[in-house]
Structure 1
Amino acid sequence: MKKFFLMAGVFLFLLAGCGQQEKEVYLFSFFQGNGEDGLHLAYSYDGLTWEALNNNQSFLTPQVGGDKLMRDPCVILGPDKNFHMVWTVSWNEKGIGYATSPDLINWSEQKYIPVMKHEPDARNCWAPEVFYDDSSSQYIIFWSTTIPGRFPETESSGDNGYNHRMYYTTTTDFVTFSETSLLYDRGFNVIDGTLAKENGKYILFLKDETRNPPKKNIRIATSTELAANYSNPSEPITGNYWAEGPTAVKIDDSWVVYFDKYTEHRMGAVRSADLVNWNDISETIHFPEGTRHGTVFKAPESVLKKLKAVQLK
């Protein structure tokens, strides 16, 4: 009888363990320098202190695009349990890069997606992001492009004639894509968009890229639709410095937005419980030396254990 109860207890313990969800950690994809060496990764358990993986060396060397760069790497974990990444391949091309991986170590063949090939005058495709929308069961990829003469009212607002607006395409399989369309135009030079969703509302963090007069700050727009009707931008959520490359995550009950204080060559962050009132927590965060902006995302701790075990050359 004792043996019976012991075995029953073990069975119930194992059954309860099967229902437990694996612990998640925070990962950060980023680039260094001009993006020549490719994808870098860091991890954190608290969202404040970040440690480099692979001795702060690249996990993936860029192979597509004329310049073969891997700037602004955006990584998400899809519902298919695979990681999907898009990135900026060049300063002056009409496409972006894409690759997928089950573990962030072994990657698919890199793919060049010519998202602006239909625009003969398009100068660039910068800072692409990918976001999975559970409501429509599809991915949206969005980025910023300058098309000279398209928005003449802000033609002189940017650096070196760049006058960006955000564009997007959608896909379910990264093989076929919807027609490229305009995502965000509220009458100013805009770049570095990143999406989050809460309580049925889409939250678009973005950079006001206006140079004349200088803005160079992070703001928020919202919509109840994935790819339309985003609001005018909020007041800046960043301070009296130039910021770019925002990426957002909810930690406990507060939102944290990381960004690149690129003129100061360091990372910054702000935190908010309500997406309205923001506190600058830049002095409390630590990132690996040389970190440029990228994407924060959550992943199972088992993924981190494999990343820490491997040393890539």
Structure 2
Amino acid sequence: MKRYLVILIVVFLSSCSKEVYLFSSFHEPADQGLRFLYSYDGYKWNDLNKVYLKPEIGNQKVMRDPSIVKGPDGTFHLVWTSSWKGDKGFGYASSKDLVNWSEQKFLPVMEHEPTTVNVWAPELFYDQDNEQFIIIWASTIPFRFPKKLEEEDNNHRMYYTTTKDFKSFSPTKLFIDPGFSVIDAVIVRRKANDFVLVLKDNTRPMRNIKVAFGTSAVGPYTNVSEPFTGNFTEGPSVAKVGDEYLIYFDSYRDKKYGSVKTSDFKTFTDASGQTSVPVGHKHGTIFKANKAILKGLQRTAGIDTAKVNK
């Protein structure tokens, strides 16, 4: 009997420790709050159809572009766009289980630049090589950089700050100026001293997605590629699946999600026919969590975990 119980416990713990893919999400008009998709293989996504955190801060009190990363202690950290314009920072909260969240805070990362128009799509990255979190985002400071066809208040560059504890932060610095308006950037670590930046060229008429390369998580990033998506695409999110990377993106003019896969970030193959993303999902971050975390999300959403989990 004891041996049987031990076997059951081992099987249960093994099942809960297996990881699944989670995709942070929001729905327009972005005033409802944080949602999640989940996937067992990185290709087929399911909507939990539940709001887990309502936005309470910022001028507009919205939650757009939710980005989540898990720290080395198991805590999940979340940042998001809190207003289209007017805010000189973004929202922050943390959680151990993605269900119960800390008090929301506003991080005023651009308050030192009084003419800042906006702070868009903050993206979290845990820099394991330097044991710190990096937060990057897009902001427009009018008349600061050369522009092309876009308006002066829509000429973005990427900025960043670092932190170890989300209490103290390094001074804000310019992250990348690729010579064009850039938003929606995502850092990907392939190995030590080998990083890829997936970014949106937001110039008119481009508005498509490219990559750049660096030897450090904070750059510099150079050798910006030609676009690998069509125009009117944004919000890239990256998942490592086996030996390949899946890059998801919002084809917002067509009102659907597309995807490509690559093993080297030089050759990209359309994978849209192999992937499925629920209607309504918008720009978030793909990350991994164990099945126990997913079961907690499902229970909170009123889903029978015995029926849906493998």
| Number of residue pairs the alignment of both structures matches | 300
What is the alpha-carbon distance in structure 2 between the residues aligned to residue 11 and residue 295 of structure 1? 37
* Shift of residue 159, structure 1, vs aligned partner: 5.2
> Deviation at 1:10?
9.4
CA drift of 1:30 comes to: 1.0
Shift of residue 284, structure 1, vs aligned partner: 2.3
Cα distance in 2 for partners of 1:18, 1:291 equals: 32
Distance 2:149 2:174 in 1: 19
Q: Does 1:205 align with 2:183?
A: no
Q: Distance in 2 between matches of 1:295 and 1:208?
A: 19
Q: Point out the more displaced range, 184-193 or 227-236.
A: 227-236
Question: Do the aligned residues in 1 keep the contact of 2:141 with 2:153 (CA within 8 Å)?
Answer: no
Q: CA deviation at 1:160?
A: 6.9
Change (3 A) 1:193 1:17: same
Q: Which one of 227, 232, 236 corresponds to residue 223 of structure 2?
A: 232
- Kindly provide the amino acid, as one letter, of the partner of residue 122 in structure 1: T
Distance 1:42 1:21, change over 3 A: closer
Equivalences for residues 33-112 of structure 1 within 5 A: 33-53=28-48, 56-92=49-85, 93-112=87-106
Q: Which one has the largest radius of gyration?
A: 1
User: Residue by residue, what CA displacement relative to the aligned partner does 1:243-268 show, whole Å, maximum 9, x if unpaired?
Assistant: 10001111011100011111111111
The amino acid of 2:103's aligned partner reads E
Q: 2:250 aligns with which of 255, 260, 273?
A: 260
**CA–CA separation in structure 2 for the residues paired with 1:73 and 1:138:** 20
Offset of residue 22 of structure 1? 2.1
1:305 to partner: Cα distance: 1.0
1:220-250 Cα deviation digits (max 9, x unpaired):
1111122132113111121x34210001111
3-state DSSP of counterpart to 2:298: helix
Between the two proteins, what is the percent identity of the paired residues? 45
Instruction: Tell me which amino acid in the other structure corresponds to 2:203.
Output: T
TM-score, scaled to structure 2? 0.91
Taking only aligned residues, the RMSD between alpha carbons, in angstroms, comes to 2.3
Please, what TM-score do these two structures have when normalized by structure 1?
0.90
Please state how far the C-alpha of 1:16 moved relative to its aligned partner: 11
Q: Residue 294 of structure 1: SS of its match in structure 2?
A: coil
Structure 2 counterpart of 1:67, one-letter code = Q
Unmatched runs of 5 consecutive residues or more in structure 1: none
C-alpha distance in 1 between matches for 2:69 and 2:13: 25
Unaligned runs of 5+ in 2: 303-310
Give the match for residue 133 of structure 1.
127
